[in-house]
Structure 1
Amino acid sequence: MKKTVVELFAGVGGFRVGFNSVKLSKKGKTIEKPNFEFVWANQWEPSTKSQDAFDCYQKRFGQSRNHTNEDISKIDKKSIPNHSVLVGGFPCQDYSVARTLSNEKGIQGKKGVLWWQIYEILDVKRPPFVLLENVDRLLKSPSKQRGRDFGVMLRCLDDLGYAVEWRVINAADYGFAQRRRRVFIFAYHKSTNYYNQMIDNSSEDIIMKKGIFATEFRVYDNVKQFRAADIRPEIYKDLVDVSDKFESQFLSSGIMVEGIAFSANTEPITKKYKTLGQVLERNVAEKYYIKNHEKFEYLKGSKKIDRVSINGYKYVYSEGSMSYPDKLDLPARTMLTSESSVNRSTHVVKDLDTNRLRFITPIESERLNNFPDEWTNTGMTDKRRYFMMGNALVTGIPEKLGKRISEIIDLE
């Protein structure tokens, strides 16, 4: 089996950076280990004319007709090259489905929900392996029908012949410099040797010892409580039935085989973390120092505010205080796309040279996600560079998973 990859919602190439241990030379040349061949990638930002992420991808990985910058929903899925691994980080959206008006047996998802594009590609191309990333709230959404969205996804994958492992991973637990929690989803088709190898193990052994996440992101073998969910056709006849009726509590680690899912809240065997202080630059430009100290002191401090809801209900909004400035002996908090703007979530650090308070720099934001220094310095503004990193993943996680997937493919 060839080690070929299709990267969806590619952003600035986080999965590729991880899978191929990408570095930048001093002259800005991309140095890519040939672990995987990325045969096709798609990146498109619908809300803006500028396509900074795609331009960065092209700049770092070269101009290619297999790097596409168009709406994925308009692409003929048959035109996508065959591949052994499909990867992508996609947004947490409303995955509910309904029957079509014209055909009672037809099923449609909400327009613009990107999961259905993944589903269509999997249906047409059937890659042996799939690795996806999402925010951890996916396992619990929506609030009025807990677990429905993830249940819909699992049923989709089951219908297509995949088993699924998942794990919520906090990057800081495994030695990285950012407390970034994301759910990673690994699916493998029943036609693979890996599938046949895994189904000979108990669900508990897959979650705790034998599965891809258990081997690369170790957890303590001390979980006694498991939760089960059954999404087989015998229980829910189709996706609409799952969407209308399914509700369950999915825990942080899990496995689904032949429509039956088991999950548990696992405890990571943590590695010594990298700290925010360890990624800071020296000799930082003046433009990164903050001027409005009083505003940040207010935003970061505890507060109780009288408010009135749209229904006229009076209530008190309260929030606790945050470290100000951010502690340099701990991993950074989760970066958001609004990093470096004047808001509560922005990191403020004490500069190592001057002891003055400042924002983190674009290079520091890249380091928090394990990208090479200056990766996004491709012509976009600082604001856009922060935005890219707020949307990105910690590339060290797909790097570890990519090495294991490479070993799995070697045995196919």
Structure 2
Amino acid sequence: MKKKLNFIDLFSGAGGLSEGFIRQGFNAIAHVEIDKAACNTLLTRTAYHYLNSRNEKEDYLNYLRREISRDELYSLLPETLMNSVINKPIGSETNQGIFEQIDKLKGEKDIDLIVGGPPCQAYSLIGRAADKNGMKEDDRNHLYVQYGEYLKKYQPKLFVFENVLGLLSAKSKTGEKYIDKMLKLFRKIGYETEFKTLNANDFGVLQKRKRVILIGRRGKKIDFYPEFLKKETTITVNEIFKGLPKLKAGKGEFYITPYTKETSEYLQSSKVQNGIDFTTQHIARPHNEQDKEIYRIAINKWDKKKERLNYNDLPNRLKTHKNRKSFTDRFKVVADELSSCHTVVAHIAKDGHYYIHPDIKQNRSITPREAARLQSFPDDYFFEGVSDKPSRTAAFKQIGNAVPPLLAEEIAIEIKKII
């Protein structure tokens, strides 16, 4: 039997990157994440993988059915797995403690791979535009240096570093591009690093989501970056809504939502539907009458003319935002007849105006489950809150920040070949 390849996930978020690697047989030694809600999600998913590996998946489903509590679910995990999710910020003051915890978890095992990408706000074009200093003084700009400390400590064969397109143009106070600073640092540590921009839509994700994926390899060998094959598809975004009951604004359930009879080959092949007869977190935001009127205008404009709503074209009585020059497309329909949706981002946690459901009769923004499907998360993936009470806002934030599991799995396939 082949030995499992071991990895550490830094800045883990809700675990989309890990999910893809675990599907390809990699073993997660540790996840390190600052956000408590995301850590709870990681623990819940760890419980899923552990119980599923022991043919005890029913215990996990009992949690989704609310037949056992979250504490009871976690009590089924070995202590090592409970300790494998490390809820700490990565930095010079905390790294030593994190190293000690990871060392206990890994024992004599080697770390074959490190994955993860620091928070993207400091590199994002939107973040830089909104900040008077262009995010040049944001401490998160330098988290790649901390990433380097983990490369020094564990000397993995490879690493995968994911971030937004803005990384390629973001500059430090001295005017040097951060991408160039990263490549220099990683080379100094002993890694040649290559990168490309990958679009999740090319890997079966029904979303336009371009990300910079850096792959570093220990040693001096170059030209090792995989040649990813794009997946040609005729699938449309409508697939993500199949099997989910229709909802009005403010309706739905955090827990059991039985499927309708509708399904599709895509939902099966993408592992979105994976053998159970219900899902969770299909719960819609409530909306006021003004927003619902704007949603109807936006949907009608798309349905009849295939045109996006410009905020300035609304009747004056519906225009309450003072900013009329930027973000004029702040109300946007998820066009279900296209092959990809616009990018799902963490702002969806604040309002749903940028992700309006295409069905005018439902007249609402999309639910966390619909957003998770756009990110290719399976329907049994549960996004936790800080407490044991679920939070729609926390779920949206984690989903918007995540790496799509389908994209992650394709990367994992190629990384396995290189190793």
- For the aligned pair, the TM-score class normalised by the smaller chain equals 0.5 to 0.7
Mapped contact 1:135–1:182 kept (Cα < 8 A): yes
* Residues 213-261 of structure 1 deviation map (CA, whole Å, 9 limit, x = unaligned): x2x2x4xxxxxxxxxxxxxxxxxxxxxxxxxxxxxxxxxxxxxxxxxxx
Q: Output aligned runs, 1:70-219, within 5 Å.
A: 70-73=88-91, 74-76=94-96, 78-79=99-100, 80-81=102-103, 82-92=110-120, 111=139, 113-142=142-171, 148-190=177-219, 196=221, 199=222, 206=223, 211-212=225-226, 214=227, 216=228, 218=229
Structure 1 distance, partners of 2:361, 2:241, is 13
Q: Which amino acid aligns with 1:87?
A: V
* Residues 350-406 of structure 1 deviation map (CA, whole Å, 9 limit, x = unaligned): 33xx74322112111111111111413444211211111111011111101111212
Residue 334 of structure 1 pairs with residue 352 of structure 2:
no
- Describe the SS at the equivalent of 2:41: helix
**TM norm structure 2:** 0.63
- Between the aligned residues of both structures, percent identity stands at 23
Residue 391 of structure 1 pairs with residue 401 of structure 2:
yes
Structure 1 distance, partners of 2:347, 2:121, is 20
Mapped contact 1:340–1:360 kept (Cα < 8 A): no
Q: 1:373 maps to which residue?
A: 379
Mapped contact 1:12–1:376 kept (Cα < 8 A): no
- Describe the SS at the equivalent of 1:91: coil
Mapped contact 2:90–2:146 kept (Cα < 8 A): yes
* Residues 308-356 of structure 1 deviation map (CA, whole Å, 9 limit, x = unaligned): xxxxxxx982666588533211111111222265465x211233xx743
Q: Which amino acid aligns with 1:140?
A: S
Mapped contact 2:355–2:365 kept (Cα < 8 A): yes
Structure 2 distance, partners of 1:187, 1:89, is 13
- Describe the SS at the equivalent of 1:372: coil
* Residues 128-156 of structure 1 deviation map (CA, whole Å, 9 limit, x = unaligned): 10001000110111398776110100000
The alpha-carbon distance between structure 1 residues 57 and 300, as it changes in their structure 2 partners (threshold 3 A), is same
Structure 1 distance, partners of 2:332, 2:150, is 46
Gaps of 5+ in 1: 22-32, 46-50, 96-108, 200-205, 219-268, 306-314
Q: 2:67 maps to which residue?
A: none
Q: Output aligned runs, 1:237-276, within 5 Å.
A: 271-272=232-233, 274-276=235-237
The alpha-carbon distance between structure 1 residues 377 and 86, as it changes in their structure 2 partners (threshold 3 A), is closer
- Describe the SS at the equivalent of 2:116: strand
**TM norm structure 1:** 0.64
Structure 2 distance, partners of 1:280, 1:94, is 33
Residue 358 of structure 1 pairs with residue 343 of structure 2:
no
* Residues 66-113 of structure 1 deviation map (CA, whole Å, 9 limit, x = unaligned): 221122221316423441100002124669xxxxxxxxxxxxx97553
Q: 1:52 maps to which residue?
A: 37
Mapped contact 2:203–2:410 kept (Cα < 8 A): no
Give the CA deviation at 1:285.
Answer: 3.3
Mapped contact 1:275–1:332 kept (Cα < 8 A): no
Structure 2 distance, partners of 1:318, 1:383, is 25
* Residues 262-320 of structure 1 deviation map (CA, whole Å, 9 limit, x = unaligned): xxxxxxx5622642211014323332375423344589425399xxxxxxxxx982666
Match of 1:280 among 236, 241, 246: 241
Structure 1 distance, partners of 2:311, 2:139, is 41
RMSD over aligned CA atoms reads 3.2
Q: 2:259 maps to which residue?
A: none
Structure 2 distance, partners of 1:325, 1:111, is 35
Aligned residues: 299
Structure with more strand by fraction: 1
Match of 1:67 among 85, 97, 108: 85
Gaps of 5+ in 2: 48-80, 104-109, 124-136, 251-283, 299-307, 315-322
Structure 1 distance, partners of 2:99, 2:203, is 39
Q: 1:242 maps to which residue?
A: none
Structure 2 distance, partners of 1:408, 1:169, is 18
Q: 1:407 maps to which residue?
A: 417
Give the CA deviation at 1:158.
Answer: 1.0
